[in-house]
Amino acid sequence: MHVLLVDDEKKFALALKQGLEEEGYSVEVVFSGEAALRALEHGVPDLVLLDIMLPRRSGLSILHELRRDGMHVPVLLLTALHTVEDRVHGLDAGADDYLVKPFAFPELLARIRALLRRPSVVPQSLLEYADLYLDRSSHSATRNGIALDLTSREFDLLEYLMVNHERVVSREMLARDVWQETSRYTSLDNVIDVQIARLRRKIDDAFESKLLRTVRGVGFVLRED
């Protein structure tokens, strides 16, 4: 998978490049809009990560030009502009997704996966990871054959972690996808931490091998040893 990253913030861009390469993507980094257009002439990547506030030419004008030339490559905007109008603006200009800086790296990975996965597959009704089973249709979960008594929020949380198993999910991702909290300034971190602690009690406490881990400073992950 080839990713073109356009950002004039060199330190940030190179860090992202390294992170993405560790995840198995091949990444080309350019630091200006003009360089991005030149790179696009050489070959269309599978995905473009585009900063909006670039020197001289804004990311939005690059995006316009790209879409005008009939390029349908998925574009994920990365920007510090975070009002609703900014989002609408970006998506109207032809972006496929929009991520506000500073973001959690796992979230960027999740978004990239989502963009590259489209068109998406039908969700399975039965999820399985290690000795955890989750049945979406009957709303039930078991571990090692023992039924887990989960509240509906805990069920959603476990489902999300299982779908993203072995991938770190950030608190922001959980707030948005599990709690459906859209407002960025409603911090649910406390609530999420408590909820995770409870879920852990239910799925891990009684078992020898622990699955739900906290990645300090980043988020949570469902992973076997």
Neighbours of 11 (CB within 10 A): 8
Over the range 178-217, which residues count as b (16 or more CB within 10 Å of their CB) and which as e? Answer: bbebeeeeeebeebbeebbeebbebbeeeeeeebbeeeee
Cα separation values, 133 from 15, 107, 198, 207, 210, Å: 36, 25, 18, 15, 15
Pairing mode, strands 2-6 and 75-79: unpaired
Establish if 18 lies at the interface with another protein (CB under 8 A): no
Out of 39, 44, 71, 218, which residue is the one contacting another protein (CB under 8 A)?
A: 218
Q: How near is the Cβ of 225 to another protein at its closest, in Å? A: 15
Out of 194, 201, 206, 210, which residue is the one contacting another protein (CB under 8 A)?
A: 194
For another protein, which is the closer residue by CB, 88 or 215? 215
Out of 67, 113, 176, 198, which residue is the one contacting another protein (CB under 8 A)?
A: 198
Stretch in the footprint of another protein (CB under 8 A) among 65-73, 111-119, 161-169, 212-220: 212-220
Out of 26, 124, 187, 209, which residue is the one contacting another protein (CB under 8 A)?
A: 187
Alpha helix positions (H), the chain: 10-22, 33-42, 59-68, 84-92, 105-117, 152-163, 171-177, 189-203
For another protein, which is the closer residue by CB, 91 or 194? 194
For the record, the structure tokens of 4 come out as: 């073109």
For another protein, which is the closer residue by CB, 96 or 172? 172
For another protein, which is the closer residue by CB, 79 or 195? 195
CA distance linking residue 54 with residue 6, whole number of Å: 9
Number of residues that bind another protein (CB under 8 A): 23
CA distance linking residue 95 with residue 116, whole number of Å: 14
For another protein, which is the closer residue by CB, 126 or 197? 197
**Distance from chain centroid for Cα 90:** 18
Out of 120, 137, 138, 183, which residue is the one contacting another protein (CB under 8 A)?
A: 183
User: Could you list the residues that contact another protein (CB under 8 A)?
Assistant: 82-83, 102, 171, 179, 182-191, 194-195, 197-198, 215-218
